[in-house]
Copies of this chain bind each other. A is one copy, B any other.
């Protein structure tokens, strides 16, 4: 199934631990940067404006992670993202970081839209919701054209 967004990430020296493989908390930094890239480049919603002047938060509330294979310094992983569900104020994603030998780590992530004044959940702003709906439609049309 075609991903809604795709990028590549280089595994850096600073991502790796004395065992010579990615220190697992670093994968979550990569995940957050990847979602940031998706908002900026995929959805066309400037992430820094959203979380800055617009005071809209996108905290992660659930995260299921499978570490499937090790990754080493110098490798390039394909990062892929699929939208599972867009709710009124929540968003479910599936994300995979893949090497040549298959998935290295996969995530099921639920994010919630909040006000950064109150840290309470709130509906997505109209433009964000529209961008998410468009992205779901594109994902589905890719999917049906693949069948």
Contacts and interface: CB of A to CB of B under 8 A. Distances in A.
A140 interface: no
Copies in the complex: 4
Interface string A86-125: 0000000000000000000000000000001001000000
Interface residues of A, number: 44
Contacts of A73: 18, 48, 51-52
A33 interface: yes
Contacts of A28: 24-25, 28
Which one of A23, A47, A57, A67 has the greatest number of beta carbons of chain B within 10 Å?
A: A23
Interface string A52-89: 10000101111111111010111100000000000000
Contacts of A75: 48
Interface of A: 11-14, 16-21, 23-26, 28-29, 31-33, 36, 46-49, 51-52, 57, 59-68, 70, 72-75, 116, 119
